[in-house]
Amino acid sequence: MSPTQSTEPRDPHDDGRPRMRAVVGSTRIEEDIFGRVFDGKVVGRIWEFVAPYKPRVWIAVAAVLIFTLSQLTIPLLIRYAIDNGMAPGAPPGLLVRIVGLFGLVIAVNYAAQLVQERVTGRLAEDVLFDIRRRMFGHLQRVSLSFMDKTEVGRLMSRLQGDVNSMQEFLETSVQSVGDIALLVGIVVAMLWLDWQLALLVLMALPILLGVRVLWLARARAAFMAAHEANSRANGALAEAIHGVRAVQSMSRERLNSELYARLVGKTYDAQLRSSALAQIMIPIVDTLTGIAMAVVVVAGGYVVATGRIEVGVMVAFLFYIQRFFDPIRSLTLQYSVMQRAMASGHRLTEVLDVPVDVQDAPEAVDLTPADDGSVEFRGVTFGYDPDQPVLKDVSFSVASGETVALVGPTGSGKSSCMSLIHRFYDVQEGAILVGGKDVRDVTQASLGRHIAMVLQEPYLFTGTVMENIRYASTWASDMDVIEAARAVGAHEFIEAMPQGYDTLLDERGSNLSLGQRQLLSFARALAADARILVLDEATANIDSYTERKIQKALVRLLEGRTGLVIAHRLATIRGADRIVVLQQGEKIEEGNHDALMARQGLYAKLYSLNYASFDDIPAELTEAERKAST
């Protein structure tokens, strides 16, 4: 059963017709939102990021304590003013002195608040950006197989959602210190003023705490349900927007609106329930406050009448009671923030702990322009899973300046060869030499400059055409870039764009055709001006006109450099100096077109079928050939 089926609307009049296969939106597989309240390991890792800011942490904590203390002093000053400053026969000037002291306290309060909020706010942001930077930097180095298996969306939610909840956690932590101090302070101040009255009033405390804990479990379930229902409805809306052309072409508007209305109805119910639960605390807290105040009025009045305390103490009590429930409310809310932060922190450390497989050796040297453009595979065995090699003992070499085509059916290991030259992965056996040096002995940065790469799917970044062609080749001047574009035949269409080379490309270059994007990625490789070009030819069917342009550009691109091309088109293959035929991870043939034709092997068979592209050849044919050859 797919997870969507359980939530399908049931047909109210089940008349034996086939059930309705229609849903809008999808069930999101939610991650754990809450973790344990305290996870020592996670806190330890987060502390690494906070540690550099230690002095600021202490300042923030000190400021929050001073702030709380000054808040606590105010009712005491009022009490002192009432009982001493205003009493008949009080020494003249005492009231003024008390109010002067009051002024001093509020000045301290002001300064402490300013410092505390500013330092905490900035600190939390700084730590957040540091964590994000470390993660992003780490993702630049982790193994590509991790990146291949992990959706970008998932990583983005690590980099955004989870990092943000760490920020919330840090701000909350400092605030919690203040809340706890306030609660303790109020209790101590009341006990100090009159311990018997204080004990009476404090009885409300465990009641509120108990109610709050019971409430929290229920309320949280309701909040989550509302949140989830809301994001489901939003998901369905996003789907309707992205898929609007499909919806209209299949006339699903009316049915979808009905299904959406049901979804929104559920959201409404969930939100109403969550509102109700959130509001229900108001009368409870108000009632408890009322009880506490009533107790102070009756018991306090009685004690004042007996003369044990003065009326100012009672007023101070009334002030404290009104502040009393705030820290409890915010502490129980912070409990949830903590749990959420632990879950996020756990996911963050998972990303930070992904091992970096490919690293520069300690004594790695740079490949320099003086090194030649040769490539050699020497008995290479490699598998993403070492038990299932995708390349088995493959050896071949490409001399500097030569163009070699790698051909073979899908799954023969062509793409893996390409990744290995660039040392995206390390081989299990054998070695790969670039410019005569083992790729494991050179720096990755210099390897990247020595080799330019064109991927099967052209990938463009948001930015101008100029920035896209130059990309990381910061040394290329504007003229170099234009020259590269001219060479691959992209200059014309670039000039025809509204702002020429300064035209902004939409996301992934969606304002360009596939062929144009391909030409730009060629220009980018050309601008990098590397000794070696590794190219994975596109398989998608482009119209024949663009195809011809691309073929021309390819010839220009390979001029004067070593070329290693994963070729699909016969034209490209025939143009190569040499052809290496791979099948199921093994090299089975090697030679130029004429030699391979004369051999009458797999290549000759494939070629004689006269398909425009090797990839068009039905799998049965290559399979039959493979069986025949073994």
Partner 1 sequence: MTTPSAPGGRDRAFRRTAATDTAKGRAAIRRITAMCFRYRARAWLALAATVPAVLMQLAIPVILGRAVDRTIAMAETPQMRPLVLIALTLLAVSVLRGLFTLAQNFAAESVGHALAQDLRNQIYAKIQRLPFSFHDRTHSGDLITVGMLDLEGVRMYFSTALVRTLLLSLLIGIGAFMLIRADPIMGLLALSFVPFAAWRSSAMQLTLRRTWLILQEKLGVLSQRMEENLAGIRVVRAFAAEPHEMARFDAASKDALDYSHQRIDVRVRNTSAMSLAFFLSMGLVLLYGGRQVAAGEITVGTLATFLTFMTILQMPVRQLGLMVNAYARASTCGARLFQLLDMPEEIADAPDARPLKVTEGTLTLDNVGFAYHGTDGRRAVSGISLTARRGETIGILGAPGAGKTTLMHLLPRFYDPTEGSITIDGQDLREVTLESVREAVAIVQQDSFLFTTSIENNIAYAAPRAEDRRIRGVAESAQLHDYVLGLPQQYGTVVGERGVSLSGGQRQRLSIARTLMMTPAVLVFDDSTAAIDAGTESRIRAALRDYAKDRVTLIVAHRLASLKDADRILFMEDGRVVEEGTPAELLALGGRYKALHDLQMSPEDAA
| Torsional sign, CA 38, 42, 47, 49 | negative
**Residue of 261, 356, 595, 624 that binds partner 1 (CB under 8 A):** 261
Phi, psi of 366 (to 5 degrees): -85, 140
Range 281-320, binding partner 1 (CB under 8 A): 282-287, 289-291, 293-295, 297-298, 300-302, 304-305, 307, 311, 314-315, 318-319
User: Residue with structure tokens 């109210």?
Assistant: 12
Q: Is 528 in the site for partner 1 (CB under 8 A)?
A: yes
**Would the CA dihedral through 234, 236, 239, 240 be positive or negative?**
negative
3-state helix, strand, coil in the chain (%, to 5): 65, 10, 25
Q: Residue 37 CB, nearest distance to partner 1 (Å)? A: 27
Query: Considering the rule CB under 8 A, would residue 34 count as an interface residue with partner 1?
Result: no
Kindly state the smallest distance separating residue 231's Cβ from partner 1, in Å: 10
Q: What is the closest distance, in whole angstroms, from the C-beta atom of residue 449 to partner 1 in the complex?
A: 6
Instruction: Report the nearest approach of partner 1 to the CB of residue 465 (Å).
Output: 14
Instruction: Show the tokens assigned to 449.
Output: 């400059």
Rule CB under 8 A: is residue 256 a binding residue for partner 1?
yes
User: Is residue 359 within 8 Å of 59, Cβ to Cβ?
Assistant: no
Is the Cβ of residue 85 or residue 435 nearer to partner 1 in the bound state? 85
| C-alpha distances in Å from residue 513, one per residue of 336, 377, 516, 517, 519 | 49, 36, 5, 6, 10
Alpha helices in 471-618 (DSSP H): 478-487, 491-496, 514-528, 544-558, 570-575, 593-599, 602-608
Could you tell me how many residues of this chain bind partner 1 (CB under 8 A)?
Answer: 173
Please identify, among the stretches 83-91, 211-219, 386-394, 481-489, the one whose residues bind partner 1 according to the rule CB under 8 A: 83-91
> What residues numbered 120-159 form the site for partner 1, per CB under 8 A?
121-122, 125-126, 129, 132-133, 136-137, 139-141, 144, 147, 152, 155-156, 159
Report the alpha-carbon distance of residue 187 to residue 184 in Å, rounded.
5
Helix (H) and strand (E) counts for the chain?
23, 12
**Closest to partner 1 by CB, 315 or 481:** 315
Residues 419-438 that bind partner 1 (CB under 8 A): 422, 424
376 sits in which H/E element: strand 375-382
Residues 428-487 that bind partner 1 (CB under 8 A): 444-449, 451-453, 455, 459, 461-462, 471-474
Q: How far is the CB of 213 from partner 1 (least distance, A)?
A: 20
The interface with partner 1 within residues 347-366 (CB under 8 A) comprises none
**Looking at beta carbons only, is 51 or 609 nearer to partner 1?**
609
- Which of 373, 435, 515, 563 forms a contact with partner 1 (CB under 8 A)? 515
Query: Site for partner 1 (CB under 8 A): which residue of 354, 542, 588, 597?
Result: 542
CB 310 within 8 A of CB 76: no
Under DSSP, is residue 406 helix (H, G, I), strand (E, B) or coil? Answer: strand
Q: Does 78 bind partner 1 (CB under 8 A)?
A: yes
| Binding flag, residue 244, partner 1 (CB under 8 A) | yes
